[in-house]
Structure 1
Amino acid sequence: MLKKIALTFMGMALAVSLTACGGSNQASNPQSDQGSNEVKPAAQTAGVSKELVVMDWGGAISEAHKKAIFEPFEKANHVKITLVSPTDYGKFKAMVQSGNVGVDVVNVDSDFVIRGAAQNLLEKLDYSVINKDGILKDLVNDYGIGAELFSTAIAYNTDKFPAGSHPKNWTEFWDVKKFPGPRSLWKYPTGTLEAALLADGVKPEELYPLDVDRAFASLDKIKKDVKVWWNAGAQPPQLLANGEVVLAEAWNGRISTAKKEGAPEEVEFNQALIMGDSWVIPKGTPNKDLAMKFIAFAVAPEQQAAFSSNIDYAPVNQKALDLLPDKVKENLGQSADKAKNQIVVNIKWWVENFDTINERFEQWLLK
């Protein structure tokens, strides 16, 4: 059941632990397209006696993790953290099934928690070590726990739409007469089908189960105006900045980063679609105890707040919001006015339906 998300996240019905589902595709994550180069290990602390290998998405999200979580954990525990990127589910599965597990903790799309557990790829988390107090309850799973949240939202060129004249919802995004100009949509069904249904007038609380036929009929209406179907998170801010498109479906952190660098673009958080990532432990890691300790550290309010201060993705621990200034919460889309009208993607539904719908989506794109 999908509910609106409030500032404190109270009553939020997350169907999973986060992101754009169907997780075998690395590009589904907001930072994965930056992860082609392995992140350098964080600096080794004097007196290090242990090593922890963490597989992460790379790029900006790993840099934020490094500053807020990895380096403080190293110093506090005399541990060297080695980063491997990007997250790769094929390697993950092969590693576990071969019994040669060389990674201790992995940041995954939250749907992978469900799929990975079903495939016996994950260690069960020890909640006597990991304090789940304050973590969104539906992001707490026996085999994974939330890492961060992000929004797939309407982004726009502020030169084209100055002074709040931009589309305020997906129905207006679809309205090419009132809001003319080329668009860009995510070349991925999760989130895109939800946007299409919202554009067609479906109420947020009535989205799931998705009316797939209606979603594709809605996409038919805008297809000719979609100039670029993007598959890497860096594309929308580039397309908006150079004026190739005037509106785009985009990840909020990418747009806010571009805005900070001077690009004429902004995010509309109304009807933004909440997704996210989770921490898991590969089954068979020899460093399971240390991995549990790391995850406990990573989800603590202080580390969550530090992470969200380094990158515009929201914390999964609601207690972290109390540690953040109003300006940061505004940038995260977690101020009272922005947070209440965002929508949580039902990843459990997507886990059950992704393969069939993705095949149809790919065929539809070719028509």
Structure 2
Amino acid sequence: MKKVWKKPLLVLASLALTFSVTACGGSKDKEAGAPAAGGSKELVVVDWGGASSEAAKKTVYEPFEKANNVKITVVSPTDVGKLKAMVQSGAVEWDVVNSDTDVALRLEKEGLLEKLDYTQIKKDGVYPELVTDCSIGLQVYFTNIAYNTEAFPGGKHPKTWAEFWDTKTFPGARSLYKNPVGTLEAALLADGVAPDKLYPLDVDRAFKSLGKIKKDVKVWWDAGAQPPQLLGTKEVVAAAAWNGRVSSAKAQGSPIDNEFNQSLGMATSWVIPKGAPHKDLAQKFIAYAVTAESQAAYSKSIDYAPTNKKALDMLPNDVKQRIGQTPERVEKQILINNKWWLDNYDKIAERFNKFMLE
């Protein structure tokens, strides 16, 4: 897989989807942006909370509010189960949702999303692998090995997933993502599978590997803000964590850091739940959020890479370094195969949930 990473332009190559998902449906839109207090229109945006939400607030939400006389209400974190329940009950309260891209593809396949209006949303420059009828890429992020620098001083921290699993050489409690996506890849890398041999995932081998470290996983996290907090207080000393959350906490003085070797590249996408109360305004918001200017501003505020490649030209070299868009960074990274997860997620998620209860 390393050959995929020779140019930032190709960062998302292994996310390529060779199919067209067309199950998303349209619905009759309600009044686009009902007036809120003071006569402004209101939009409910769902994101992951924490540092990423704060960055989006400064660089995307507030500028959009001012330019369009809109009041944005932010709900965090993203809850896919709640989104499904809202759509299925016909009582949708959310307008725009920041979803993991693999999840967005499943929601689209199930017909739970509105079609995006690409006469209004300009997809030029956005990696085509992250553009479907019902979703468009927001950011590229990495699940890294993160660690407490006081527990592992002088660069003596786990640098591979095999070392992360090795609690004898690198003692202390661990934290992993309470989701099979990325977690199974880490488990296979820890068990010696070569990066370019990951897919199709050897699921049995992955769960066997997870079983070896399960007793040392003190917290299975489900919100991105948790790993930096756990690491900062030494409740755990090493964690799988989103790179931007860790770098934000580090910048604020927390004794934690990222290890970029064997980072697992992922993405999130904007979607509109089917039956969203302010669908037209949601389309306008997404059109604004995916522009190169908005994405560049966002990447300057938090260390996540843009999905609009035109934004890279607007970023200084130090930012490109931090967000993994330089040759020395991308050479060490591995991409999650969203197509494989679209086809296999449901049965593996069921097994993962049973594993968590064992």
State TM-score, norm by structure 2: 0.83
Q: Please point out which of 266, 288, 297 is paired with 1:297.
A: 288
| Equivalent runs, 1:185-264 vs 2, <5 Å | 185-264=176-255
1:76 partner letter? A
Match of 1:345 among 332, 336, 354: 336
Q: Secondary structure at the match of 2:305?
A: coil
Question: What is the total number of aligned residue pairs between the two structures?
Answer: 341
3-state SS of paired residue (1:53): strand
C-alpha separation in 2, matches of 1:296 and 1:14:
25
Q: State how far apart, in whole Å, the 2-side matches of 1:81 and 1:210 are.
A: 40
Q: CA deviation at 1:280?
A: 1.3
Q: Which residue of 1 aligns with 2:27?
A: none
Change over 3 Å in CA distance of 1:156–1:336 after alignment to 2: same
The question of 1:129 aligning with 2:120 is answered yes
- Secondary structure of 2:119 counterpart: coil
The equivalent position to 1:55 in structure 2, one of 38, 43, 46, is 46
Q: 2:165 corresponds to which residue? A: 174
Which residue is 1:32 aligned to?
none
Paired residue secondary structure (2:306): coil
Separation (CA, whole Å) in 2 of partners of 1:355 and 1:69: 33
Aligned partners of 1:293 and 1:300: how far apart in 2? 11
Residue 98 of structure 1 and its aligned partner are, at CA, apart by 4.8
Shift of 1:135: 1.3
Compute the displacement of 1:224 (Å): 3.9
Distance of aligned partners of 1:162 and 1:279 in 2 relative to their CA distance in 1, 3 Å threshold: same
The reply to whether residue 77 of structure 1 matches residue 68 of structure 2 is yes
Matched, 1:105 2:104: no
The answer on whether the counterparts of 1:48 and 1:80 sit within 8 Å (CA) in structure 2 is no
Tell me, which stretches of 5 or more residues in structure 1 are unaligned? Answer: 18-43
SS of equivalent to 1:223:
helix
Instruction: Could you tell me which runs of 5 or more consecutive residues in structure 2 were left unpaired when the two chains were aligned.
Output: 18-34
Do the aligned partners of residues 14 and 71 (structure 1) sit closer, same or farther apart at CA in structure 2, a change above 3 Å counting? Answer: farther
Q: 1:72 to 1:238 in 2, by over 3 A?
A: closer
CA RMSD of superposed structures (Å): 3.0
The equivalent residue for 2:154 is 163
Within-5 A mapping of 1:295-334: 295-334=286-325
TM-superposed deviation, 1:145: 0.2
CA distance in 2, matches of 1:226, 1:96: 35
Equivalence for 1:10: 10
Return the letter of the residue paired with 1:9.
L
Equivalent position SS for 1:141: coil
Give distance in 1, aligned partners of 2:94 and 2:218: 40
CA distance in structure 1 between the partners assigned to 2:335 and 2:141 by the alignment: 10
Cα separation, partners in 2 of 1:331 and 1:139, compared to 1, 3 Å: same
Question: For 1:271, what is the secondary structure of its paired residue?
Answer: strand
Q: Alignment partner of 1:322: what SS?
A: helix
Contact 1:47 1:78 in 2 (8 A): no
Cα-to-partner distance string for 1:169-205 (whole Å, 9 max, x where unaligned): 2122233444344333233322111011112221222
Whole-angstrom CA distance in 1 between matches of 2:164 and 2:86 = 44
Deviation digits for residues 96-124 of structure 1, max 9, x if unmatched? 44555444322222223222222322222
CA distance in 1, matches of 2:50, 2:173: 28
> TM-score with structure 1 length normalisation?
0.81
State the alpha-carbon separation in 2 of the partners of residues 138 and 195 from structure 1. 23
CA distance in 2, matches of 1:268, 1:308: 19
CA contact (8 A) 2:94 2:277 kept: no
Counterpart residue number, 1:361: 352
- One-letter amino acid of the counterpart of residue 300, structure 2: S
Indicate conservation of the 8 Å contact 1:147/1:316, yes or no.
yes
Aligned partner of 1:267 in structure 2 is: 258
User: Residue in 2 aligned with 1:24?
Assistant: none
Instruction: Classify the secondary structure of the residue corresponding to 2:145.
Output: strand
Q: Aligned partner of 1:88: which letter?
A: D
Structure 1 residues 319 and 244: alpha-carbon distance in aligned structure 2, compared to 1, 3 A threshold = same
Preserved CA contact (<8 Å) 2:52 2:245: no
Which of 88, 102, 120 is 2:79 aligned to? Answer: 88
Structure 1 pair 48/338, CA: closer, same or farther in 2 (3 Å)?
Answer: farther
